[in-house]
Amino acid sequence: MSDCLFCKIANATIPAKIVYRDETVLAFEDINPQAPTHLLIIPREHIATLNNLTDDNQHLVGHMAATGAKLAKEKDHAEDGYRLVMNCNADAGQTVFHIHMHLLAGRQMDWPPG
């Protein structure tokens, strides 16, 4: 989608500190980190919110989660722990409408989240 920030990162129109990429997803550093490790994992395909998942694209979310777990392990957070978060629409605080999974790690997390 031409006016989508994360599509622009996916097609390299806008720069980002990309840490992982494959045929269907990529991961990059969040511009406003909320933890010592704060990565965003996105599908290359534009999907606005979790409400737009279909039988054809839902496999991407599993791959995003597996990628987050792999990156957490690579960054040595697997044992201490980490959080994978997806926000959907206004009440959850979604601000970029191209689905993304936050990988947060490197500090104690609060529960319930604010």
Q: Which residues bind ligand AMP (CB under 6 A)?
A: 5, 16, 30-32, 40, 87, 93-96
CB 20 within 8 A of CB 72: no
For the chain, the residue count is: 114
Instruction: Select from ligand AMP, Zn ion, none the partner in contact with residue 90, using the beta carbon and a kind-dependent cut-off of 5 to 8 Å.
Output: none
Interface with Zn ion, residue 98, by CB under 5 A: yes
Instruction: Select from ligand AMP, Zn ion, none the partner in contact with residue 87, using the beta carbon and a kind-dependent cut-off of 5 to 8 Å.
Output: ligand AMP
Give the whole-angstrom CA distance, residue 63 versus residue 111.
25
Give the whole-angstrom CA distance, residue 56 versus residue 51.
13
Beta partners for residue 21, in sequence order: 26
CB 24 within 8 A of CB 44: yes
Told to judge if 77 belongs to the known catalytic residues of this protein, a careful annotator would answer no
Q: Which of 77, 98, 100, 102 is catalytic?
A: 100
In the complex with ligand AMP, the residue whose CB is nearer, 3 or 31, is 31
Please report how close the Cβ of residue 36 comes to Zn ion at its closest, in angstroms.
27
Residues numbered 47 to 76 that lie near Zn ion (CB under 5 A) are: none
DSSP state of 79: T
Interface with Zn ion, residue 12, by CB under 5 A: no
